[in-house]
Amino acid sequence: MNRLKGEGDMPGLTSFILHLASSSMNKYDEIRSIMEGHNIDLRIANIKGEEIQTFSVLKVAERAAETIAQNFQSPLIVEDTGLYVHSLYGFPASYASFVYGTLGPGGILKLLEGREDMTAEFHSAIVYAEGGKILKRFVGISEGKISKEIRGSQGFGFDPIFIPEGSERTFAEMTRTEKNLISHRSKSSKILAEWISGRRAL
């Protein structure tokens, strides 16, 4: 397999340039902090691919990456995140961003009133494309539960109501460094970074 490189690339010196197709600076900052430790220069590209309606965040990311890669030859990733609440039959799933803008975290708490099962999962799917086609897919999952109230001011999205397994705090009550040790997005990002590093070493 050919080694990924750019003009003038020298082992151990030149960063690998990777683009994140997104308009979310919060998402960019979290993924970038992971990439920095692997000598990967993550840059944001405010472009959007085709969005499909499905519960699967992986399928959403795949379709977006396919359509973007047709006109973007440089290495790029698309990341999509979904919140899956078990007693709501997986809702809001990949529609988390839309539901956040319409119902917000408080709306999810209202839907869960009177329910005993508060367990949930956060899924992060990253799709890597290069040369006009998809090469690899990565998925990270954080298991946990929904808090009974909105807590914390850090993070973004549904972070104020999600308590990861093994913690008593929501993601929004953690620093970015703490969240990046256990979050779904950090898990998919770390696997991606290790894969890129492995390819570069060939």
Which residues lie across from 197 on neighbouring strands? none
The matching CATH number, chosen from 3.20.20.140, 3.90.950.10, 3.40.50.880, 2.60.34.10, for 16-201 is 3.90.950.10
Residue 3 is predicted with a pLDDT of: 36
| Letter string b/e over residues 159-177, b meaning 16 or more CB atoms within 10 A of that residue's CB | bbbbbbeeeeebbbbbeee
From the list 29, 80, 117, 159, the catalytic residue is 80
Residue 199 is predicted with a pLDDT of: 86
Q: What is the pLDDT of residues 91-144, one digit of tens each?
A: 999 999 999 999 999 999 999 999 999 999 999 999 999 999 999 999 999 999
| Letter string b/e over residues 96-109, b meaning 16 or more CB atoms within 10 A of that residue's CB | bbebbeeebbeebb
Q: What is the pLDDT of residues 150-187, one digit of tens each?
A: 999 998 999 999 999 999 999 999 999 999 999 999 99
Its pTM stands at: 0.90
* Catalytic residue status for 9: no
Domain boundaries along the sequence of the chain: 16-201
Estimate to the nearest angstrom the gap between the alpha carbon of 125 and the chain centroid: 6
Q: What is the pLDDT of residues 50-96, one digit of tens each?
A: 999 999 999 999 999 999 999 998 999 999 999 999 999 999 999 99
What does the DSSP 8-state code read for residue 50?
-
Residue 100 is predicted with a pLDDT of: 94
End-to-end CA, the chain:
7
